[in-house]
């Protein structure tokens, strides 16, 4: 059997929180105390400023769980792996995963050991082939993103069938964090999934939750300091920060809890290592890249759908992957999502721009209706009104009724990151990056 060792390099998180304080000059215009990210728009530009909201229940994970060394004459079979780093770094290794399910004895034994945080088990009754054992373990980890605490390094397999497990954190920290994650998942499902929802509506709701509540860990990616948590469902759902691995695992975890079958996919996006989801809907499979549907830098309230329910053919334009045992995604039934670059969803209706017009789409049928000949970005909805940055006129803040009437200019500021809360409309001045708000009239 082969020798070597997996080493997965995951480094601690550093987060920059920037607060801006400024008083607006106009009596009806006020500066918002929240901090927001600067960038040109509609293109995304790297920035060092991050507005990160961390869940108050988040448990600080620290300390490496101890592993038990075997004192025996058995030969040690160690893993071999490569470290992956990219705009969508993954926990991928050189191990070839083995397609298995919970009904498989080896799969079930490894799953139980990881969930119970055991330090070792003997799988000799199932297999003494290290490639098979490591492959099934990889499949278990991909299928169960709630296991965010496993450590590849020093997790070894012995020729007598003993499989060792190492963990990133102490048992106490893991137990506390697992409880927090389970409670968060239950809360999200309860809030996002309503009785009578179709599977499409469930997928939409949970996809949008991930995009709206997760910030890509861009600074740490640029600096090569991505912490362990950003690769996990815990990082995305509890800390609110992740890279593609975390986005994908969080989405798959939520979809699984909602009864939607998913697969975890690794490959490359624009030539860089990346991860995303395959989901089954009405008996057909589709790709979802939640990471690439989240603008970078983060834009409050903005969701893209360019990589939502796409086929193999469409995704292959800028993604590549080993199809292997993955199901084929041949259907183009939801190709109408691909044209939505910037939009705001209300139920199954989305208001969006195709960079030429402001449109309304029924997401269930794909039916499109033009509202106005304006390039509307950063759309926000309040009752019968749509507020947006009008790129047909300097990016100024405008409003229009949903029926296309009463197009009204509200300021002469290039306005971005439009958000409506408690009767106030917030926006960022593209020129000076100050955040303002005004009353909705």
163-198 residue pLDDT tens: 999 999 999 999 999 999 999 999 999 999 999 999
Residue 428 within a domain: yes
Final residue of a domain: which of 308, 339, 370?
Answer: 339
307 and 358 co-located in one domain: no
- What is the structure's pLDDT at 296? 75
Report, in angstroms and rounded to the nearest whole number, the Rg of the chain calculated over CA atoms. 24
Final residue of a domain: which of 321, 339, 357?
Answer: 339
CATH number of the domain where residue 433 is located: 2.120.10.30
375 and 257 co-located in one domain: no
Which DSSP letter does residue 143 get?
H
- What is the structure's pLDDT at 144? 96
Higher pLDDT, 74 or 222: 222
> Residue 363 — pLDDT band, cuts 50, 70, 90?
confident
Look-up of token digits 């360019």: 306
- What is the structure's pLDDT at 346? 86
Average pLDDT, the chain: 79
Residue 8 within a domain: yes
The proportion of the chain whose per-residue pLDDT surpasses 70, expressed as a percent, equals 75
Q: 141 - beta bridge partners?
A: none
Would you say the pTM of this structure is higher than 0.85? no
330 and 344 co-located in one domain: no
Coil, helix or strand for 114?
Answer: helix
Higher pLDDT, 22 or 245: 245
- What is the structure's pLDDT at 297? 64
Residue 270 within a domain: yes
Categorise residue 439: left if φ over 0, alpha if ψ from -120 to 50, beta otherwise. beta
334 and 344 co-located in one domain: no
Burial degree of 132 (CB within 10 A; 0-12, 13-18, 19+): middle
Residue 39 within a domain: no
Residue 42 within a domain: no
* 113-123: average pLDDT: 96
CA-based nearest residue to 411, from 381, 388, 377, 382: 388
Residue 108 within a domain: yes
275 and 373 co-located in one domain: no
> Residue 28 — pLDDT band, cuts 50, 70, 90?
very low
Domain of residue 400, residue span: 340-441
* 8-35: average pLDDT: 33
Higher pLDDT, 169 or 98: 169
333 and 348 co-located in one domain: no
Residue 34 within a domain: no
First to last CA, the chain: 73
- What is the structure's pLDDT at 300? 65
160 and 213 co-located in one domain: yes
287 and 349 co-located in one domain: no
Give helix then strand counts, H and E, for the chain. 8, 24
Tokens standing for 281? 């809907």
Final residue of a domain: which of 316, 339, 362?
Answer: 339
320 and 356 co-located in one domain: no
Higher pLDDT, 29 or 230: 230
* 277-297: average pLDDT: 93
Residue 32 within a domain: no
321 and 365 co-located in one domain: no
Which helix (H) or strand (E) segment holds residue 178: the answer is: helix 171-192
69-97 residue pLDDT tens: 333 334 444 443 322 333 333 333 445 55
415 and 326 co-located in one domain: no
362 and 418 co-located in one domain: yes
Domain count of the fold of the chain: 2
Confidence check: pLDDT of 419 > 90 = no
């Amino acid at each position: 059997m082969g020798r070597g060792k997996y080493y997965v390099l995951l480094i601690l998180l550093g987060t920059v929180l920037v607060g801006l304080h400024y008083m607006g000059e106009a009596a009806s215009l006020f500066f918002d105390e929240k901090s927001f990210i600067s960038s040109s728009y509609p293109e995304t530009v790297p920035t060092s400023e991050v507005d990160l909201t961390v869940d108050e229940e988040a448990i600080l994970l620290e300390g490496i769980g101890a592993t038990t060394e075997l004192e025996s004459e058995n030969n040690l079979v160690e893993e071999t792996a490569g470290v992956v780093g990219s705009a969508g770094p993954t926990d991928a290794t050189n191990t070839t995963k083995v397609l298995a399910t919970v009904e498989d004895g080896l799969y079930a034994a490894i799953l139980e050991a990881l969930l119970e945080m055991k330090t070792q088990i003997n799988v000799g009754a199932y297999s003494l082939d290290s490639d098979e054992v490591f492959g099934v373990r990889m499949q278990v980890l991909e299928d169960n993103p709630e296991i965010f605490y496993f450590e590849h390094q020093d997790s070894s397999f012995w020729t007598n069938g003993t499989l060792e497990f190492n963990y990133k954190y102490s048992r106490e920290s893991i137990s506390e964090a697992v409880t927090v994650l389970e409670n968060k998942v239950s809360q999200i499902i309860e809030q996002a999934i309503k009785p009578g929802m179709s599977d499409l509506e469930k997928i939409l709701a949970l996809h949008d939750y991930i995009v709206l509540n997760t910030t890509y860990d861009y600074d740490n990616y640029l600096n090569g300091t991505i912490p362990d948590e950003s690769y996990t469902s815990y990082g995305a759902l509890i800390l609110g920060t992740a890279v593609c691995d975390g986005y994908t695992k969080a989405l798959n975890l939520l979809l699984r809890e909602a009864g939607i079958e998913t697969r975890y996919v690794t490959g490359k996006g624009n030539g860089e290592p990346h991860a995303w989801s395959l989901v089954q809907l009405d008996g057909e499979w589709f790709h979802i890249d939640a990471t690439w549907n989240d603008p970078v830098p983060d834009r409050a309230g903005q969701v893209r759908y360019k990589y939502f329910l796409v086929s193999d053919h469409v995704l292959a334009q800028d993604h590549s992957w080993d199809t292997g045992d993955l199901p084929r995604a041949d259907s183009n039934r939801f190709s109408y999502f691909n044209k939505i670059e910037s939009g705001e969803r209300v139920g199954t209706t989305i208001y969006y721009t195709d960079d030429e017009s402001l449109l309304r789409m029924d997401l269930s049928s794909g039916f499109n209706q033009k509202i106005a000949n304006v390039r509307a970005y950063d759309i926000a909805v309040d009752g019968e009104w749509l507020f947006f940055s009008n790129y047909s006129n300097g990016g100024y803040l405008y409003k229009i009724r949903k029926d296309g009437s009463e197009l009204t200019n509200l300021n002469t500021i290039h306005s971005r990151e439009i958000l409506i809360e408690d009767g106030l409309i917030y926006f960022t001045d593209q020129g000076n990056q100050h955040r303002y708000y005004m009353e909705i009239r």
